[in-house]
Amino acid sequence: MSHSRTWTRASGRWFALRWCRTCHWSGFDKGCLMRLEPPETNQERDFASFTETIQRAFGLDVAAYKSTQVRRRLAALCTRRGFRTFQDLGRAMQSGAVSRDEFMDHLTIHVTEFFRNPDRWRDFAARVVPQLATLGRPVRCWSAACSTGEEAYSLAITLAAGLALPQICIWATDVHPRVLEVAAVGRYPVASVAEMPVEDVRRFFETDGEQVVVRPSLRRCVQFAQHDLVTDRYPGGLDVVVCRNALIYFTDEAKERVLTQLCASLRTGGFLFVGGTEQIAQPIRYGLAQVSRLIYQKVDDEPRVSAASANG
């Protein structure tokens, strides 16, 4: 007896129908219903158990990332490494057959560039830097989820238009250690600085063949460190937080938690600079006022969403 299988959805549930070819049953009414199996549940169970394993073994909260995207990317890793289920991947990570770095390469995207969205950096230079320059003290900034460092160096270069380099203190972090290694070295292809004013390139980079290297004077403004926006503690009293193109990866709940904590990291009067797709719908909920399209200023120390409640 041979059977072919098809899936059908009825009453909001998936059913596996196996049609018996030998006895010529066909059609839903006469279908030879061999088994009821909601496949989504199995996959979800597999994924949920995988995320628990990863959280326990590596302290990474995969559930904070948008499920469809993260599953698609991790499914690509499974296929490449020949794993049938996410749990197989989890076991391979526990045994060391798949490294944390390889996993992190697939968890999120690390694309970045110097002065990404240049108009928004011009806004920052025009509206934020002059205010920071009047402080007459070192400014404390955080480039959160900085990837390979271009964003942190762009911030330092922008601030250098109004502040002396020793007054610029940038803490630049990412969850992925491999990108931070690149950032700390500060070596990039010449093409990556092609859009920058020539005088800035000369002042802040040394040319080495087809590459440029960040000069020590600029490099000293930035301190790189590993930090997980979902699970680690946040600093406080900052003048500037730049967190761009990272929030988009998180679930709405995680995004709100991260955003709330980023805002709590700012002193009153401090500035938050977000990515092109991360505009904040009701900034006042977070104690923020909008300065320009992607830049906000903290005006209220007691926002409607508190860091404590966002932490659960």
Ligand X SMILES: C[S@@+](CC[C@H](N)C(=O)[O-])C[C@H]1O[C@@H](n2cnc3c(N)ncnc32)[C@H](O)[C@@H]1O
88 near ligand X, judged by CB under 6 A: no
User: Distance of alpha carbon 297 from its chain centroid, rounded?
Assistant: 22
What is the smallest separation between the CB atom of 154 and ligand X, expressed in angstroms?
A: 9
How many positions of this chain bind ligand X (CB under 6 A)? 22
Which residue's Cβ lies closest to ligand X? 112
**Residues 77, 78, 89, 229: which binds ligand X (CB under 6 A)?**
229
Q: Assign 297 to helix, strand or coil.
A: strand
Catalogue the long-range contacts made by 55-62 (C-beta closer than 8 Å, 24 or more residues apart): 57/90, 57/93, 57/94, 58/93, 58/100, 58/103, 59/228, 59/231, 60/107, 60/175, 60/228, 60/231, 61/228, 61/230, 61/231, 61/254, 62/107
**Residues 132, 175, 201, 263: which binds ligand X (CB under 6 A)?**
175
Q: Candidates 94-102, 109-117, 119-127, 189-197 — which segment interacts with ligand X by CB under 6 A?
A: 109-117
Q: Which two tokens stand for residue 213?
A: 């290297």
- Which residue lies nearer to ligand X by CB, 112 or 297? 112
Site string for ligand X, 126-165 (x = CB under 6 A): -------------------xxx---x--------------
Virtual torsion, Cα 191, 197, 202, 208, nearest 10 deg: 0
**Residues 132, 159, 179, 291: which binds ligand X (CB under 6 A)?**
179
Q: Tell me 65's DSSP state.
A: B
**Residues 18, 116, 127, 285: which binds ligand X (CB under 6 A)?**
116
In the complex, the residues that contact ligand X under the rule CB under 6 A are: 108-112, 116, 145-147, 151, 174-176, 179, 228-230, 244-246, 249, 275
